[in-house]
Amino acid sequence: MGIERGLPLILRRLPAGWRILIAFCAGAVTLLAFAPFSLFPLAAIGPALLFLLWLAASPSRAFAEGWVFGLGLLGFGIFWMHISIDQFGNVGTALAILITLAFVAAMALYYGAAGWLALRLAGTAAAPWRRLLIISALWPLSEWLRGWVLTGFPWLTLGYSQMDSPLAGWAVLLGGYGVSWALVLTAAGLVLLLLGQGRHRVFCLVGLALLWGVGGLLGERHWTKKVGAPIRVSIVQGNVPQEDKWLRDNLLPTLELYSGLTRQHWDSDLIIWPETAVPAFAHQVEEALLRPLEQEAREQGSELLIGIPAWEQQGNHYYNAMLSLGPQRGVYHKRHLVPFGEFMPLKFLLQPLIDWLQIPMSDFTAGDADRPLLTVAGYPAGISICYEDAFGEEVIQALPEAAFLVNASNDAWFGDSLAPPQHLEIARMRALETGRYLLRATNTGISALIGPRGQVLARSPAFETHVLTGAISPMGGYTPYAWIGNWAVVSLSATLLLLALALPRRRGEKGEAD
């Protein structure tokens, strides 16, 4: 019996409990590929273990094992969500954990659905290469769906784990989902190396070498170019504890902290404060804070970009905003709000839940700007607030005008957890996809200057009051991804899926339902 048949047979004979355990461990191991661990090869090894199970599975088994894989990856990877629900949601630790696990279970369904559909389409008797090709096409499509269905949650998309590997180069062509596509093809290639023989293994090795080699070459090419003199920037990290931030007695000390640190860096062309650095509405601090700082900035030849909530009296709308102060005033209103954190879906039904949770500033209105642009330091800049930078296709709406990107966040909601390094990794992907410098300003860390290849040029220490200063260059031009967006990888995956389904089947292959 050849290994192509032998190994799937062994896996098929494994007790269901052992298969579930392997799938869960494969998901947990995959998490170690992401920041802060950054063991990027595990992003191929973990899915490869799952694919081996799927080669010896029925559609229903593939669903269960995919779902459990998702539980292992997301259960450990985003467990930090319970911190904000517990500490700031007024529900208690036990219920916060239960809510988090329910969310994890829901998001893990995407992995189960991908496995179920792959086995239904391929048939359980299909050749391993056909099933693996279908799986490789469906995986990035399922991640893409997770990134926009019900406003989307693209956290821990597989491609983010490859920021320091040659596969990251695919991002300039296909975006973060394209890196996921390259990863699952790698995982499929590893499985075929194990199962194949002779020339099949040679074919797999050549394919893997091309996949990784082309990724490295794409990453080395300069897709954008400098279009102006360097800009000196300072990012103010106030390190104000989240539990103290909205206390009335803490407003004046917070304003004095940020103002004092700013006045020490008027030699910078641009000074950035993080998301909602000012714990009050703009109109409430207009005379005491904004106008004096605006005047000083003009006199010093500098410019400020401040995270501050804004209230629009007409219509009674509240916005999470970034306000520029300098030669001219401008404002950007956050467009992609966090469900249950910044707005409540089905508010007319869930008002009692809103009143019970008591989350500060949880009734924002989404901004309606067509494009996320502000002119600061003499250049148009692409602005994103908080987890807006997790949506690559929204960030590229600022191009080609944007000379650099700015992301203002407040990861203090999640304490000393995996969230800040994971969020920094996401920001790095946005810089790489667009070929732009990205300035990341956070309340408690990790603030960073990120280069146009996604490299971290400088970063602030977490949970320290710190001002990060450096120089960036305004950039012009397009990467292919910035021109095409996610439709490139969606089209490629759909084409591969159709090809796998259309190719003639060998004798003995048949589509078997569960």
Active site amino acids? 275, 334, 386
Write out the H or E segment, with its range, that includes residue 237.
strand 231-237
Beta bridge partners of residue 384, listed in sequence order? 407
Please tell me what DSSP assigns to residue 159. G
Q: Could you tell me the CA-to-CA distances from 389 to 79, 290, 407 in Å, in that order?
A: 20, 27, 7
CA distance 290 to 307: 12
306 DSSP assignment: E
Residue type, 509: E
Nearest CA to 157 out of 85, 107, 82, 210 is that of 107
C-alpha separations of 27 from 24, 183, 189, 395 in Å: 5, 14, 19, 29
DSSP state of 337: P
Residues in the chain: 514
475 CB-contact burial (10 Å; exposed 0-12 / middle 13-18 / buried 19+): buried
Strand partners of residue 379: 376
Question: CA-CA distance, 391 to 407, in Å (whole number)?
Answer: 12
SS3 457: strand
Q: Residue 386 and residue 407: Cα distance in Å, rounded? A: 7
d(CA 504, CA 70): 33
Nearest-angstrom CA–CA distance, 44 and 411: 29
Residue 287 DSSP class: I
Structure tokens at 78: 């985003």
Q: First and final CA of the chain: distance in angstroms?
A: 25
Torsion of CA 83, 43, 176, 195, to 10 degrees: -150
* CA pair distance 217, 40, nearest whole angstrom: 18
